[in-house]
Structures are given as C-alpha cells and as structure tokens.
Amino acid sequence: MGQLLEVDRNRNVRFNDDDHLSAAISWLQRAQDATSDGGMSGRFRLADGWTSSYPETTGYIIPTWLKLASVQNDCAFVDRAERCVRFLLSSQLGSGAFPGGEVAENCTIPSPFNTAQIIHGLLAWHLHAGDQRALDAALRAADWLVSVQDEDGAFRKYSYKGVTASYTAHATCWLAELGVHTGRKRYLSTATRHLDWILKYFVAGNSWFEFCGFDEEEHYHRRATTHTIAYTIFGVLYMSQLLGRTDGIEAARSAALAALRCAESEGRVPGAMDSSWRSAAGYTCLTGNAQLASIWFRLFGIDDDLCYVSAANSALEEVMRAQIMHLKDSGLHGGIAGSAPIWGNYLHFALPNWAVKFFIDALLMKKQVIPCLKLRQGAA
C-alpha cells in the first residue's frame, strides 16, 4: 500500500544522501552475510527471502567494497572484498570460465557475460592486494572469453537466453581493462572486434544501439530496459576510452544524451525506452536509474556540461524515493527493488543486490562531483 499511498515518505522524512547511502551499505552487508560461502546473495524475494550466491554480481561488487574501504577508511570492507574473492576462486570452472546465474541454479554452464564481469572484480582485488591468485584467475577467464568469440566479433556461444546482444559491451570493456593492465594484445584485439560489431549496429540517426535488450521480443520491437541500455552505453564509453576510439565515445555520448532528453520529456526515467527514445514502460527500473546516473556523472567529467549533473541527481532522487527505509526487516531495510512500483516488470517483487551496488557507486560519484560544483560557484 505504501507503494501507492506513501510514495513521498522518504522525502517527507527528509533523509539525506548519507542516510540513503548508509542504509544501502548495511543492506549489501546483510546480502553477503545471508550466505555461508562468502558470495553475495543475488536478491531478496518478498515470497521466500534471500537467494543463493550470485558469482557475477559478487565479482563486480568487489570494486564497490574497495571504494567504500577507501572513502570510509574502514578495512572491514576490504575483508568483505576478500571473502568475495575466495568464493569466486572456488567457483571458477576448469575451462577458466565462470557459471551463469546463482549457484543454486547452476554451477557448471559457463557464461561469457558473467565471466567478464567477474574479471573486473578480480583485477580490482589484484590491484589492491597484489594477490597473484586473483590475477591468474582473471587471465584464465579472459583466455576462455577470447576462445568463444565469433569471427564477426559477437558473442553467441553460451549467451543469456540464447540471444546475441550489444549490452555485452559491459563485458568486453573489462577484457579491455585487463588488456591495458597486462599488455596482452589479444585481449585488446578481442575487445576491438566486439566494439566494431556493436558500432556496426549503432543507428546514428537516432543514437540507438540495436540488440541492446534482453530477448528477441525486445530486439524485434526495438526497445530495452534502462538496465541493459545503460550496460551498453557504459560498456561502449569505457571500452572506447581504453582503446582510444573517438567513434565509440561519440556514439555512447549521443545515446546518453538521448536517454537524458527522454527522461526530461517524461519527467522521470522510464523503466524501458524504445529506439525513438520514448517511454516503453509504466514503471521505473531502479537499477537503470543508478547506472544512468553514473554514466551522466562520468560524462560531466569529460564534457563539463551541467545538464549531466542535473539529470543524474534527478535519476538518483527517484531511487531514493523508492528505497525501502521504513521497514525494519533485514532483507528489506535499505534495499532497492528491481522496479518502482515493486510489481513492475523488471524483477518484480524482488530486491536485487546489483540495484544497491549501482546506487552506492552513483552516490559515491555524486560525492566527488558536488565539491567541484561548489568550487566553481565560489570562483564565480
């Protein structure tokens, strides 16, 4: 009922950014403590509680733990990152790949997308702790990823739902990151071929990346949730920065601006958008909001355009409005649902750990941006 009748509860209580950040961090800690293997519980379901550990998101939550350790000067977050690493090292398959989905569902079938997301976390841990085991695991995973790429640059083998998608840019950007760190040219070549494949299906006239949705139906109707739209934009942007590709940077920028204009015209960030950058959903995908906010903050750092900051703040305000702050249940308090309202099409009636992860990342970026704006105002 609160989703309908008390949608402004958090705003009326006047929670600030730190209140929301603290609650989100506590929820993420409980998501890890809910498992016995050190991994991160994939989500909290209203029907049956915490689910099993999710290798993919456990991997990319590692950099978030390490960032929190630095920002809050608390080594307990480093310990949590190490627990994640130990879990991942025990989950890696003989091929070097990592399995898709949660461990209760699958421990044997590999996933290129999930494997690459985990590479990002393993590299972050290696850079922090100098742990050679983590780097070796990342290299084995990267070698497998290279081996399953198709000749045209796409990734079709073991793809999610058997669908070839462009949001896998958020996978090969981490392969490029590892290539830059290690100097291994085959990783950079694989990322380059994938970027070329994605840009081949970029429609410059309306700044749309084809095949950026989850399934064939979304691809047919040329629409996608903001979660996968943001995956695609960020992956293309970061990969292009690493590879020195101005064409990719411009494509990502134009798509990010198109999403921004859609949000402005709708008065909110719709949970899904179509190729004309119009709303294709009556709900909000809160994960996508947080991801887009991070992209817009990142583009502000490149372009120094305040429109990005305004859009990012508005997107985060929608997430803070929906964050569960008044219920004390350990699986709910501080959590962020897949959709707002919670029965929306994206992960309905569940609170995924990646929504909280991306929200924390975006709030930490906001904390970096705001002092810069104050300095600018002072100078003026």
pLDDT tens by residue, the chain, 380 residues: 777 767 788 888 899 999 999 999 999 999 999 999 999 999 999 999 999 999 999 999 999 999 999 999 999 999 999 999 999 999 999 999 999 999 999 999 999 999 999 999 999 999 999 999 999 999 999 999 999 999 999 999 999 999 999 999 999 999 999 999 999 999 999 999 999 999 999 999 999 999 999 999 999 999 999 999 999 999 999 999 999 999 999 999 999 999 999 999 999 999 999 999 999 999 999 999 999 999 999 999 999 999 999 999 999 999 999 999 999 999 999 999 999 999 999 999 999 999 999 999 999 999 999 887 776 766 65
Cα dist from 201 to 165, 225, 245, 247, 256, whole Å: 11, 18, 16, 13, 16
Phi first, then psi, for residue 111 (nearest 5°) are: -135, 120
> What residues have CB less than 8 Å from 32, skipping those under 6 apart?
38, 39, 40, 41, 80, 83, 84
Residue 377: per-residue pLDDT: 65
> What residues have CB less than 8 Å from 243, skipping those under 6 apart?
176, 188, 191, 192, 195
**Which of these, 196, 200, 199, 223, lies nearest to 212 by C-alpha position?**
223
Is pTM beyond 0.85 here?
Answer: yes
